[in-house]
Amino acid sequence: MPEITANELTRIAKDTFYVGVGLGVIGVQKAQVQRVELTKAVKEQAGEAKGQLERLTAEAESLLAELRTRLSTAADTADDRVKDLEARLDAVESRVEALLDEIEAKLPEQAREIVAQARTTARDARAQARETARDARTQVRKAVAA
């Protein structure tokens, strides 16, 4: 077995230390390169995600605008049909009221009073129903506009 001198032992210790330091430096440099590559990859992915989000937002806004337009058109159509229906109901109501006037005139006094009260109640109910329908249409209009 060869003998190791103090100088050789010192040289071996220095070489070992330098190799350790060199490996440490290489490890740190490798970690820095990986950090830079990871940062670059994350930035690219974030940019892509941002672009996708912007495209989806634009598409959602476009669909929302189209939906609002369609709802507004549907509300206009519904309003027109309701107005037409109200006009027809008014005509029917006028005819029925005229017939009821004739019938009421032929009734005895007590029956006439009861029929008059019933007709008043029916008119009030119809007026209330129409007012409720107008309120509902107004609410739909506000919802479409929002």
Over pLDDT 70: what percentage of the chain? 99
For residue 135, the model assigns a pLDDT of 85
3-state secondary structure of 75: helix
3-state secondary structure of 4: coil
**Both tokens of residue 54?**
């912007």
Of 82, 97, 95, nearest to 130 by C-alpha is 82
The parts of the chain modelled with pLDDT lower than 70 are 1
For residue 60, the model assigns a pLDDT of 97
